[in-house]
Structure 1
């Protein structure tokens, strides 16, 4: 079995710089709790979106297990719009209502999901039988999970915490189990 630990990044301080946005003070505290929780999991590989907040969220566990963080561009957050949406709730609801709809300069659910799933399948094939932490973002994480089990949908996304952790157990490319770990903290 291969175990993927999808880690939605901890709280970040908002800036328009998606790539460089850092964790907030609360996010830093939560990232330490994530490290403590994952120490029991015998992590083999640590992967992250290239976004600073995702990297900062998983770097403690990488240090603990003496692992380099492998950056994978395709685990970055889905691009909703070219410019920040005036009404984020309306904009995000619209893309979840129609998998093929996208705002100008943004990705549809179908496009973002394919990107994330392709990266996930490559990880499953490359690291079969390993325990892999993936520092990522809420929307792309749920789109990936939705591909393997459609119960992970927009309503599920709306109830995620920041941070959040889901342990997905795979037999080859087949999802066998998904368990939330963050609530145990």
Structure 2
């Protein structure tokens, strides 16, 4: 598809892993820490020249707070598909062992939790909807490390458990798409 100037129509998605947050058991309303707020401000400054046109986010407060500076006083579209994967309905005894297990067996889920396959399907469905709705735009997406990695893994298997372990808070990856085909991934900040 060509735009009015005859150039290829590419869509740029900026997947933004949220900044550091204060730990509370309330996943939905867990806010950024003071350091997280400072890092979110720095992230906004680093991305100001990217000409972001649309800002979406997981409904979780820490994800919204991380990208709100990019919204330029426009509404942030909350997308359930970008919320973090639910590992289990109850706290797990050993988080590292639990997360390793779901990555080693993508169809496995703990009681009340999401398997990698289920969470990935949810996240990819949200991505494909954005690619259709905002074709040719630059879209920032506030999200979380595990679901972000699962989405990227759908398009390129190099983005796996080891990649997730190396993500920073915050972290941004710019994905370039033509239609629903991933052309390029680059670290954006």
Q: Same fold (TM over 0.5)?
A: yes
Instruction: Identify the residue that residue 75 of structure 2 maps to in structure 1.
Output: 68
Deviation at 1:83, TM superposition (A): 1.2
Instruction: Identify the residue that residue 119 of structure 2 maps to in structure 1.
Output: 112
- Aligned to 2:182, which of 161, 175, 178? 175
Whole-angstrom distance in 2 between the partners of 1:133 and 1:36: 14
Q: Provide, for residues 53-106 of structure 1, a one-character-per-residue CA deviation record: whole Å limited to 9, x for no partner.
A: 00000011113xx32100001100000011121100000000000010000110
- Aligned to 1:11, which of 20, 31, 37? 20
> Secondary structure at 2:185's aligned position in 1?
strand
Which structure 1 segments of 5+ residues have no match? Answer: none
Between structure 1 and structure 2, the one with the greater Rg is 2
> Secondary structure at 2:141's aligned position in 1?
strand
**Aligned positions, number:** 180
> Secondary structure at 1:53's aligned position in 2?
helix
Alignment of 1:3-152 (within 5 A): 3-63=12-72, 66-152=73-159
Deviation at 1:136, TM superposition (A): 0.2
Deviation at 1:176, TM superposition (A): 0.4
Tell me how large the CA RMSD over aligned residues is.
0.6
Whole-angstrom distance in 1 between the partners of 2:131 and 2:46: 23
Whole-angstrom distance in 2 between the partners of 1:67 and 1:140: 25
Deviation at 1:134, TM superposition (A): 0.1
Calculate the TM-score normalised by the size of structure 1. 0.96
Deviation at 1:43, TM superposition (A): 0.7
> Secondary structure at 1:168's aligned position in 2?
strand
Deviation at 1:24, TM superposition (A): 0.4
> Secondary structure at 1:90's aligned position in 2?
helix
> Secondary structure at 1:166's aligned position in 2?
strand
Which structure 2 segments of 5+ residues have no match? Answer: 1-9
